[in-house]
Structure 1
Amino acid sequence: MGAPSMTFDTDQNAGQNASQNAGHGPSARHTEPLPLEEFADRTGRIMANLETVIDGKREALTLALVVLIAEGHLLVEDVPGVGKTTLAKALATSVGCTVSRIQFTPDLLPSDVTGVSMYNQAAHEFEFKPGAVFANIVVADEINRASPKTQSALLECMEEGQVSVDGVTHQLEAPFVVVATQNPIEMEGTYALPEAQRDRFMVRISMGYPDASAELAMLHQRENASPLDELSPVVGKPELAELIETARAVYVSRAVESYVVSIVQATRSHPEFRLGASPRGTLHLVRAAKVLAALKGREFVVPDDVDELVVPVLAHRIVPTRRAASDRGGATQAIADSLRAIVSATPVPLARTR
């Protein structure tokens, strides 16, 4: 980290408008924030539920929970068989919301995702038949096995919480979260997600292979049945709405906002990046940091919250130069290394209490 040069308030009442304007999701606001003790209890139940299915991946589970409460979208990228779909299903099952699963294949049509208008002969009019995207949590399995045209069917849904078919707009019920899995683009039969679609995902995570002890435990746990079969919701939709509102109320000082902006803007002029992070990335980074602060029992964001989220929130939005990717052993590693260097070089604001 660089030398401190700014101060940020830890008084959550100061500059409250700055906090509330830092990021926003699609949900209507009709609930009050929870005490942090109740927030910790509910999120702890969700984490415990997830850990009955996914062993030894607490960091990935925490990021998935951050995305859910921040009303973002999650992209899980890794090789087959490491639990991508299991994580997506477990997250969806842990929350008492409507859930839909879409298996993306090369022959999947955009109308299968969004819906289609069909003529009703009895009523002599067209009726809209909702597609699989009409659910609170949509599990998009192997999203990069569908054609780019079908992938793009999710663009409007993910950003605006609505679907437009035949000139008519249909609103999606809040909360609306897409949990997508994808295989590495080097694998046969995959299509790389376009930059515009990657940018709509708040966080990208990689599951990685389990360690030996976790893999051994998995053999015993899943010998006769899948843990997913025994999973049940631990919070309902009203409780989730309260978690969302609690995270939104977390305070972000002007200095911390400036710190976030400095990091994001540095990606746009970095010599090893052909494409830096977007303004949407700035908003997502602040929203995710607010949730992480609440998970840590704080009513305000500190720079460490931002630092912890820079790579998972920004890396998938960035395109490195070919030379950087070649020199660093691949695009993913090159981006992560450069982002950490940017964080280290950015002046860190000092805390100031009131």
Structure 2
Amino acid sequence: MTHAPNDRAPSPTYQKIAKTLGQSAPSGTDLQRNQQKIAQLMAQLNQIVLDKPQAVKLALSGILAGGHLLLQDLPGMGKTTLAQGLAKLLGLSFSRVQFTNDMLPADILGMSIYDQSKLRFEFRPGPIFTQLLLADEINRSSPKTQSALLEAMEERQVTQDGQTYPLPQPFFVIATQNPLQQAGVYPLPESQLDRFLLCLSLGYPSPMAERELLKGQDRRELLKDLDTVLDTEAVLLAQQGVKQVYVADVVLDYLQRLVAKTRASQEYHGLSPRGVLSLQRAAQAYAYVSGHMEVTPEDIQAVFAAVADHRLGQRFAPAQVVGGQAPQTIAQRILADVPVIV
């Protein structure tokens, strides 16, 4: 498949954002330069999160697609390190919330407190008012607390006491969750799972990577040494650049065949229209991160499991990340059954 040239004219929205940021409308060369920075960012992040280049690439693709990430794995696998590394390299303000079973929605969103000097209630923003929120071990909190994130993740705003407060832009949630087999966890409802663009698992490192961890510098020290590669303005422009990535009709045909296959099963509900849009957006972001401006079937295949499995009811189990050949997921079986060309 021939890739569309990198000098395609930016959209009016892209030009408008650039103008708002006090920049000229980006050319194909600007997009290429941004992609060079993205390659640099991934290289640095791969020095922190060892032996997981595909997970790193997918995580960055999710961020540049404007979506939220769910990282599910056993404790101590590097989920928090990945989130902190992304925040540092992208120059985003960062907050971490440790979810517990006694946490209340106000602990995340904020609350109104009476100010005696002004004789009125004033809203005190919670930790969610940041550009990147790490919701650590999200499934250890009650469903009531989990649902507090729904409006923020979908609408990028918080409503308290009848007042609506916009969240900073850009805004992302990276949530981590432990296996359901562990004590003290609550399964995330389908409505919340659907808010996450991608769901990833890191798994155990290879013996070589583990040896480097044992002999190398502490990951927390390495995180302190990271410098920002893409600032907030560059992230916003990259998000608009993702929307410029071309999707040919023949690729859309393949995407829709995959979606139709998910809806043909009696074992699970198929992808919703929001899920379909998420699949296209993730594939565009993956293509952009890969350095080309046209989606290929390989881009769709690369993101399909991360977009679809958690929406199709695929539950994470520790056995899936323990050494040996992992069993096929629902999405992988669908990919094997659906031809690229008919």
TM-score by length of 1: 0.84
Q: Which amino acid aligns with 1:158?
A: M
Write the mapping of 1:133-152 to structure 2, written as runs, cut at 5 A.
Answer: 133-152=128-147
Q: Offset of 1:37 from its aligned partner?
A: 2.5
Which of 311, 316, 329 aligns to 2:310? It is 316
Cα deviation, 1:193-246, whole Å, max 9, x if unaligned, reads 111101110111111111111111112223696322222322211111221121
Q: Summarize the Cα distance change of 1:348–1:29 in structure 2 as closer, same or farther, 3 Å threshold.
A: farther
Name the residue aligned to 2:203.
208
Name the residue aligned to 2:17.
30
Stretch moving more, 248-257 or 304-313: 248-257
Gapped runs of 5+ residues in structure 1? 1-7
Q: Which secondary structure state, in structure 2, belongs to the residue aligned with residue 339 of structure 1?
A: helix
- Matches of 1:238 and 1:94 in 2, distance apart? 13
Q: Is the contact between residue 3 and residue 292 of structure 2 (CA under 8 Å) also seen in structure 1? A: no
Name the residue aligned to 1:119.
114
- Matches of 2:143 and 2:5 in 1, distance apart? 44
Name the residue aligned to 2:335.
343
Q: Which amino acid aligns with 1:278?
A: S
Write the mapping of 1:193-342 to structure 2, written as runs, cut at 5 A.
Answer: 193-222=188-217, 226-271=221-266, 273-319=267-313, 336-342=328-334
- Matches of 1:186 and 1:29 in 2, distance apart? 49
1:75 is the counterpart of 2:70: yes
- Matches of 2:223 and 2:137 in 1, distance apart? 19
Q: Which amino acid aligns with 1:288?
A: A
Q: Which amino acid aligns with 1:108?
A: M
- Matches of 2:219 and 2:84 in 1, distance apart? 19
Q: Is the contact between residue 309 and residue 330 of structure 2 (CA under 8 Å) also seen in structure 1? A: no
Q: Offset of 1:171 from its aligned partner?
A: 0.9
- Matches of 2:308 and 2:219 in 1, distance apart? 40
Q: Is the contact between residue 137 and residue 175 of structure 2 (CA under 8 Å) also seen in structure 1? A: yes
Q: Offset of 1:285 from its aligned partner?
A: 0.8
Q: Offset of 1:303 from its aligned partner?
A: 1.5
Q: Offset of 1:349 from its aligned partner?
A: 4.8
Q: Offset of 1:71 from its aligned partner?
A: 0.7
Q: Which secondary structure state, in structure 1, belongs to the residue aligned with residue 17 of structure 2?
A: coil
Cα deviation, 1:237-284, whole Å, max 9, x if unaligned, reads 11112211211111112332333233123212214x322222211111
Q: How many residue pairs get matched?
A: 326
Cα deviation, 1:298-317, whole Å, max 9, x if unaligned, reads 21111221111111111001
- Matches of 1:233 and 1:11 in 2, distance apart? 30
The RMSD of aligned alpha carbons is 3.0
Q: Which amino acid aligns with 1:211?
A: S
Q: Offset of 1:336 from its aligned partner?
A: 4.6
Stretch moving more, 249-258 or 188-197: 249-258
Name the residue aligned to 1:51.
46
- Matches of 1:102 and 1:28 in 2, distance apart? 36
Q: Offset of 1:192 from its aligned partner?
A: 0.7
Higher RCO (C-alpha 8 Å, min separation 6):
1
Structure 1 segments of 4+ aligned residues over 6 angstroms from their partners: none
Name the residue aligned to 2:89.
94
Cα deviation, 1:65-110, whole Å, max 9, x if unaligned, reads 1011111001111001111111111111111121111111111110
- Matches of 1:223 and 1:130 in 2, distance apart? 33
Write the mapping of 1:4-23 to structure 2, written as runs, cut at 5 A.
Answer: none
Q: Summarize the Cα distance change of 1:118–1:28 in structure 2 as closer, same or farther, 3 Å threshold.
A: farther
Q: Is the contact between residue 81 and residue 219 of structure 2 (CA under 8 Å) also seen in structure 1? A: no
Name the residue aligned to 1:3.
none
Name the residue aligned to 2:22.
none
Q: Which secondary structure state, in structure 1, belongs to the residue aligned with residue 257 of structure 2?
A: helix
Gapped runs of 5+ residues in structure 2? 19-24
Q: Summarize the Cα distance change of 1:224–1:43 in structure 2 as closer, same or farther, 3 Å threshold.
A: closer
Q: Is the contact between residue 312 and residue 330 of structure 2 (CA under 8 Å) also seen in structure 1? A: no
Q: Which secondary structure state, in structure 2, belongs to the residue aligned with residue 181 of structure 1?
A: strand
Q: Which secondary structure state, in structure 2, belongs to the residue aligned with residue 188 of structure 1?
A: coil
Name the residue aligned to 2:170.
175
Q: Which amino acid aligns with 2:284?
A: K
Q: Summarize the Cα distance change of 1:142–1:225 in structure 2 as closer, same or farther, 3 Å threshold.
A: closer
